[in-house]
Amino acid sequence: MFEALGINLRTEKVYLEMLKRPEADIEDLTRSLHLTEPEIREALDDLASMSLLRTSWTDPGTLRPVDPAVGLSVLLAREEAEVARRHQQIEESRAAFATLLAAHAESRQQHTEVGVEHLEDIDTIRRRIQEIATNCQWEAASFMPGGAQSPANLEASRKLDAEAIDRGVRLRTVYLDSVRNDPATLDYARWLAELGSEVRTVPALPLRMLLVDRDVALVPLASADSAAAMLVTADGLVAALVALFSSVWKSARPLGSAAARSRDDEGLSRQEKQVLILLGAGHTDETISRRLGVSVRTARRVAAGLLARLGARSRFQAGALAVARGWIDETDLG
């Protein structure tokens, strides 16, 4: 009935049932709708993200359905606005298409001149990495997201890292905490540390990055799935990336430290705290697994455990309760 508004059939059934029975909890909904608990929780997350659920005025720990006269009309207005926006974008794209084609070659040249070189394939990226690594004079700093590193990546890095350390280059590498559970990556990180390199870990990393001598940076062009990258030499951009690295490095824990596995006053590990932040921001299990470098099963298990500890009915509510209890800061959720 409401698929055009982005509400699937299962979520619609849960919403209609909650309108009939506002006091129903997850167990009640599971029995009456013949759905599993994960399916109910997923539907509640969808409804919360669409503002069709609100926190109860009398019981802040529960959620109540929003009157459809209000909630659905807002969704309809959003869809109408989105259609108008997309139509405007299509018209603007059509008008700009010819200009874009004509300026493409000149634009690429200008990007290079102002300090941004586009690398379009993996062979070019690896060649440029080897070139800048060979020319590195005193420091190479890197973010290595994705958890366990592939044998090919580890082997490709070993010779370059050893040669750099022999030349007296300072290597600083930040991995995800999850590499502590991967023997191959952990052995490589320990090998780096034994040679004098500095290795630290964090629960999550913002991007993959290589900084050389604080005047050259290599970063992905778009996403983790992209085979393209940018080689940045523009002073302002490099300075911003250096500041980002320094901020993450200060909060990271040395590889040999037990602090990465320690828990805070609320009994939360660094990984669990990061999961709470991602849950509150609306991320799925798949996104959380990629950000933390763990399996989807592990991400799902950690998330379920946190929801149970908080007594939350949905991810949205878990984030709100975690902020209310002081487990995470509201600013962490953006």
Q: What is the pLDDT of residues 288-319, one digit of tens each?
A: 887 777 778 888 888 888 888 888 878 778 87
Give the count of domains, the chain: 3
pLDDT class of 92 with cuts at 50, 70, 90 = low
Distance, CA of 178 to CA of 61 (rounded, Å)? 33
Burial call 233-253: b when 16+ CB within 10 Å, e when fewer? eeeebbeebeebbeebbeebb
Task: Please say which residue of 206, 223, 256 terminates a domain.
Answer: 256
DSSP E strand stretches across the chain: 53-55, 63-65, 116-119, 139-144, 170-176, 198-202, 209-212, 216-220, 229-232, 253-254
Q: Coil, strand, or helix at residue 200?
A: strand
Cα–Cα nearest to 315, from 324, 307, 323? 307
- Asked whether residue 218 falls in the same domain as residue 121, the answer is yes
283 and 209 in a common domain = no
DSSP 21-70: -TT--HHHHHHHHT--HHHHHHHHHHHHHTT-EEE-SS-TTSEEEPPHHH
- Partners of 139 in the β-ladder: 170
Alpha-carbon span 77 to 1, nearest angstrom: 17
Residue 46 lies in a domain: yes
Is residue 75 domain-shared with residue 35, that is, in the same domain?
Answer: yes
The enclosing domain of 158 has a CATH number of 3.30.870.10
- In a domain? residue 199: yes
**144-157 tens-digit pLDDT:** 887 677 777 777 77
Residues 147 and 227 occupy one common structural domain: yes
Residues 53, 153 share a domain:
no
Domain assignment present for 318: yes
Inside any domain, residue 292:
yes
Query: Residue 259 has what pLDDT?
Result: 45
pTM: 0.50
Do 35 and 157 fall into the same domain?
Answer: no
Are residues 170 and 193 located together in one domain of the fold? Answer: yes
- At 271, the pLDDT band (50, 70, 90 cuts) reads confident
147 and 240 part of one domain = yes
The residue from 104, 135, 165 where one domain ends is 104
Q: Are residues 203 and 287 in the same domain?
A: no
pLDDT at 117: 86
pLDDT value of residue 211: 92
Same domain, 90 and 121: no
Q: Which of 204, 224, 256 is the last residue of a domain?
A: 256
User: Does the pLDDT of residue 113 top 60, yes or no?
Assistant: no
The reply to whether 26 and 92 lie within a common domain is yes
Residue 272 shares a structural domain with residue 248: no
**109 occurs within a structural domain:** no
Can you give the CATH number for the domain in which 20 is found?
Answer: 1.10.10.10
199 and 255 Cβ atoms separated by less than 8 Å: yes
**188 inside domain:** yes
Q: How many CB atoms lie within 10 A of CB 258?
A: 8
pLDDT value at residue 75: 64
The two beta strands, 216-220 and 139-144, are unpaired
Domain enclosing residue 95, as ranges: 1-104
Beta bridge partners of 116: 232
Q: Is 282 among the domain residues?
A: yes
Tell me whether residue 51 is in a domain: yes
User: Is residue 68's pLDDT more than 50?
Assistant: yes
Say if residue 138's pLDDT is above 80: yes
